[in-house]
Amino acid sequence: MAKITLVDDDENIVTSVSLALESHGHTVKAYYDGAAGLAALENDPPDLAILDVKMPRMDGMEVLRRLRRTSEIPVIILTSKDEEIDEILGFNLGADDYMHKPFSQRLLLERVKALLRRTGRGEGDEASGAAPAAGDVAARALKRGKLTLDPARHESLWDGKPVKLTVTEFLLLQSLAQRPGFVKSRDNLMDAAYDDQVYVDDRTIDSHIKRMRKKFREVDPEFDAIETLYGVGYRYRES
């Protein structure tokens, strides 16, 4: 199904999670410290990564920060239940999802399944390398002013220049850009970017929007296409 890299210094978690994932057809490579995990992620990119926060040699947040310099592979962060700051920081750094320890293996499997489905990785024709039909690409590609979004290729361009977005960021922007000028509440955006079984709060959406704006402003310092309507939500303004 999918190649998954698991990085956690707890041998019990590595063993149990690996067995659970492998029982569902996934291939798992496990590493027990952040430095080894980062090297593996860079040298042999998987379809999805699962990172613990607290690890020797390099913590999970630093692994994520360095990984996001070159890669947008989906990442699930594992964090202690009482450390809310990890969750907020993880989303700011570009995590796609998080799980609080201790967690249900069944729920983790559902999160992995949902994230792989959103990315198209590890499943179906696109994941196996087969090109989608030309008609499908044309139907799904979206152009709004300087913005071009191609879901089939997970490609985002601003004025012809590539902007690397995570899966969640891409889905949020796609939802906004589909109806320029219309306000999308945070609940609307949650529905667009997350499956029903995944709960996130308002700050998660805000963190993704903030990071997305930063990426576009690195390409165009005047970027202002995503508007905030305080107390209401966000909308895409087509220039």
Our CA angle for 105, 26, 192, nearest 5°, is: 70
| 137 confidence band (pLDDT: 50, 70, 90) | very low
Query: Would you say 79 and 87 are in contact if contact means Cβ atoms under 8 Å apart?
Result: yes
Bridge partner residues of 79 (DSSP): 100
Summarised one tens digit per residue, pLDDT across range 26-35 is 999 999 999 9
- Report the helix count and the strand count for the chain, using DSSP H and E: 10, 11
Residue at token pair 């891409």: 170
Q: Are strands 155-158 and 161-162 parallel, antiparallel or unpaired?
A: antiparallel
Peptide bond into 102 cis (omega under 30): yes
Bridge partner residues of 48 (DSSP): 4
Tell me the percentage of the chain whose pLDDT exceeds 70: 85
In this prediction, residues 160-175 reach a mean pLDDT of 88
Indicate if 114 and 163 belong to the same structural domain: no
Question: What is the model's pLDDT at position 198?
Answer: 56
CATH of the domain at 150: 1.10.10.10
**Residues spanned by the domain of 186:** 133-236
Chain center to CA of 57: 25
Query: Would you say 77 and 99 are in contact if contact means Cβ atoms under 8 Å apart?
Result: yes
The last residue of one of the domains, among 78, 99, 125, is: 125
Average pLDDT taken over every residue of the chain? 83
Indicate if 175 and 81 belong to the same structural domain: no
Indicate if 165 and 193 belong to the same structural domain: yes
Query: Would you say 227 and 210 are in contact if contact means Cβ atoms under 8 Å apart?
Result: no
Residue 45 has pLDDT above 90, yes or no: yes
- Retrieve residue 67's tokens: 């990984």
| 217 confidence band (pLDDT: 50, 70, 90) | very high
Indicate if 165 and 226 belong to the same structural domain: yes
Question: What is the model's pLDDT at position 83?
Answer: 61
pTM, entire model: 0.64
- Pick from 129-133, 149-153, 164-168, 219-223: least confident: 129-133
Question: What is the model's pLDDT at position 6?
Answer: 96
Summarised one tens digit per residue, pLDDT across range 66-100 is 999 888 899 999 987 566 666 677 778 888 888 88
CATH of the domain at 119: 3.40.50.2300
Residue 133 has pLDDT above 70, yes or no: no
Indicate if 22 and 120 belong to the same structural domain: yes
Residue 127 has pLDDT above 80, yes or no: no
In one-letter notation, the amino acid at residue 233 is G
Query: Would you say 91 and 207 are in contact if contact means Cβ atoms under 8 Å apart?
Result: yes
Helix (H, G, I), strand (E, B) or coil at 147: strand
